[in-house]
Amino acid sequence: MLYALAVFAPLAGALVSGLLGRLIGDRNAMGASILGMVVAAVCGPLAFWQLTQGAEPGVLDLGNWIESGRFHVNWALRYDTLSAVMVAMVSFVSMLIHVYSIGYMGHDARPKYRFFAYLSLFSFAMLMLVTADNLVQLFFGWEGVGLCSYLLIGYWYDRPSACAAAIKAFVVNRIADLPFAVGLALIYFKFGSLEFSSIFPAVAAHGADTYALFGTTFSSIEVIAFLLFIGAMGKSAQLGFHVWLPDAMEGPTPVSALIHAATMVTAGVFLMARMSPLMEYAPYALGFVTFIGASTALFAATIGCAQNDIKRVIAYSTCSQLGYMFAAAGVGAYQASMFHLITHAFFKALLFLSAGSVIHAMSDEQDMRNMGGLWRRIPVTCMVMWVGSLALAGIFPFAGFYSKDAIIDATFAAGTAVGYYAWVCTLLAAVLTGFYSWRLLFLTFHGKPRASAQVMAHVHESPAVMLLPLVVLAIGALVAGFGLDDYFLQAAKAAFWRGSIFTAPSNLVLVQMEVVENEIPWLPFAPTAAGVLGILIAFVMYIVNPLLPVRMAQVFGPIYRLFLNKWYFDELYDRILVQPAIRLARLLWQVGDATLIDGVPNGLAELTSDGSKQIVKLQTGSLAVYAFAMLIGVVVLVAIFMLSR
């Protein structure tokens, strides 16, 4: 079956290139990995297309995985619209990024088979995640992508900063994964299964279940939803757990594009949609999802405005856009969040890869303050980056116009307090999005060149193998919006989703969206207006009057520094978590173990062995004592047997 082939072809590619890479040589290993991805990129979208043409959704059983008493999960691939659309997107984008990597990694001195093996392995894990038919397999993919992300962030393992970033990413994700795993345990406890087909129909019946915690009782569905969402916050870098994502930019740029923009970080959003039959019965948890999502959207956008590293700007932008998706999921507009997930995959992968092309051209320079005026030298890169930014800012007719605006409208249409909060946040964030995107464009491509003459002389357009994926993605960023709008959100949505996303009967947010858009005529235009406003501000500050940013940074010093230093989250965590943990570890070891616990036996040991003077004594003396003790034991045993007979 095509679907299974789409999932397992990347695994085959990864194994061949990873295990045989040194044997068959770099070129062949790369070829194997790309072949696997191409197969996936043909089969995945094809399987999705079949589904839209009326093929039956179903489950492909691959075999038994874990069995323990009543507990039972299978290896299985779920074939429905939600999974298939993700498979199509992941395999396709991943294939493009594989191709791009041929060019981007071309100058890297190390053997490249390792890079391609990781990349393919990542694609496999991500595909397992989205096709999971039970939560344990989802967790397998979830942790698998985490591992590959760790490996790829730390790809240049001779750089201390890359190693630190890799560990940070893995550990921060793990912190969120623990509540996630406990959430799975709670689902099993309440539902007796972790398979979707058993959980989903049973949710309504468990609506009134309670679970005791913190000395009071909560709805058990709420507790489960909260725990799952904490897991999603980790993987999707939401407020509080976001600290790993910007550091992840230490990895090669194709990695940032694939993992930390297009696919892995969207896993949390996907989880919300996948678990919608459960989330829909957890209104408080959903409110929290919206609150966190909207706050992240604004928070990350503020940081994005002050960063100078081109990749970090895009990283914070990703963080912010993920916040949008959660905000939509939280108000029940899962379709809108999935829509944005797909369009975002195109334009954010595009932005990252173009940034990679810029970095490539600039001899590995990433600081935008040293760029400027590049558009003549790398016109294609400049053009596609404009397309990506237009899509990101939500300008008609680019993709973001459809998906992002739908999210902003949905938060308003929800009509709840947290919904209005989200509306304000996302609208403000839209202004900032326009601002930081054009700040990036202006600083990089326009104005006067600020790089040294030597670097400028070397600036060159990337090879075709890199430009081709960029152009394909740019086309995606242009057409994905109006091409998919009808299916994801509008008239054809019921026939498209076919129940793979559940909306409770009381959830009318998509209907309500149309109502408010008709009632308040200016509402649909607000997001675009916000985006354009942001662009204009950037135009004034970086083109009309380039001295303005410096003066503003001085006037608004504290705020600027707050944004520049990312709201001091890293410093805070270091102070309240990392340092105390290290100090505690030393204390437990040196005082707890070595002094307190070992005090007693050490005294005894010294009595018996008389220090560590002689080995002879050990071999004869102590052993004799030991044998003697055993002998006494046996004698006592026999004696008691005799006596008590």
Closest C-alpha among 500, 557, 433, 393 to residue 81 = 500
The Cα 349–Cα 575 span in angstroms is 34
Residue with tokens 């810029």: 358
The interface region with another protein, picked from 184-192, 331-339, 397-405, 441-449 by CB under 8 A, is: 184-192
Quick note: the x/- pattern for another protein over 556-595, rule CB under 8 A, is: -------------------------xx-xxx-xx--xx--
Query: Which of 185-193, 345-353, 355-363, 372-380 is the region at the interface with another protein (rule: CB under 8 A)?
Result: 185-193
Retrieve residue 520's tokens. Answer: 């308040």
Q: Which amino acid is at 474?
A: A
Residue 171 in contact with another protein, rule: CB under 8 A = yes
Angle subtended at Cα 141 by Cα 388 and Cα 44, rounded to the nearest 5 degrees: 55
Query: What is the spatial distance between Cα 532 and Cα 449, in angstroms, rounded to a whole number?
Result: 26
User: Toward another protein, which CB reaches closer, 118 or 436?
Assistant: 118
Q: How far is the CB of 30 from another protein (least distance, A)?
A: 17
CB of 622 to another protein, least distance (A): 6
Cα–Cα distance measured from residue 497 to residue 516, given in angstroms and rounded to the nearest whole number: 24
Q: What is the footprint of another protein within residues 3-22 (CB under 8 A)?
A: 22
Strand partners for 218 = 211
Q: Is 635 in the site for another protein (CB under 8 A)?
A: no
- Report in angstroms how near the CB of residue 77 gets to another protein at its nearest: 15
Which listed residue (540, 548, 550, 618) binds another protein by CB under 8 A?
618
540 or 638, CB closer to another protein?
638
**CB 123, min distance to another protein, A:** 15
How far from 157 is each of 28, 165, 166, CA to CA, in Å?
Answer: 24, 10, 9
Least separation in angstroms between residue 531's CB and another protein is 40
Q: Of residues 1, 49, 58, 71, which one binds another protein by CB under 8 A?
A: 71
Q: How far is the CB of 318 from another protein (least distance, A)?
A: 24
Site string for another protein, 197-226 (x = CB under 8 A): --------------x-x-------------
Q: Identify the residue among 66, 417, 464, 552 touching another protein (CB under 8 A).
A: 66
Minimum distance from CB of 627 to another protein (Å)? 8
For another protein, the closer of residues 543 and 637 by Cβ is 637
What DSSP letter does each residue of 143-185 carry, written as one string? Answer: HHHHHHHHHHHTSSTTSHHHHHHHHHHHHHHHHHHHHHHHHHH
> Measuring CA to CA, which residue among 49, 72, 42, 207 is closest to residue 134?
72
Q: Residue ranges of the alpha helices (H) in 258-398?
A: 267-274, 276-279, 283-304, 310-330, 334-361, 379-393
Give me the phi and psi of 502, to 5 degrees please.
Answer: -100, 135
Q: Which of 61, 67, 108, 574 binds another protein (CB under 8 A)?
A: 67
The tokens 């779920």 sit on which residue?
78
Contact string (CB under 8 A) for another protein, positions 93-132, x = contact: ----------------------------------------
Helix (H) or strand (E) holding 635: helix 623-644
Q: Which is nearer to another protein, 117 or 387 (CB)?
A: 117
Which of 143, 247, 280, 485 is close enough to bind another protein by CB under 8 A? 143
Q: Where are the alpha helices (DSSP H) in 394-508?
A: 399-414, 417-445, 453-458, 464-488, 493-497
Nearer to another protein, 486 or 598 (CB): 598
631 binds another protein (CB under 8 A): no
Sign of the dihedral defined by the CA atoms of residues 475, 476, 481, 486, in that order: positive
Two structure tokens written together for 614:
């002689």
Structure tokens at 17: 């290139």
Residue closer to another protein, measured from CB, 548 or 605: 605
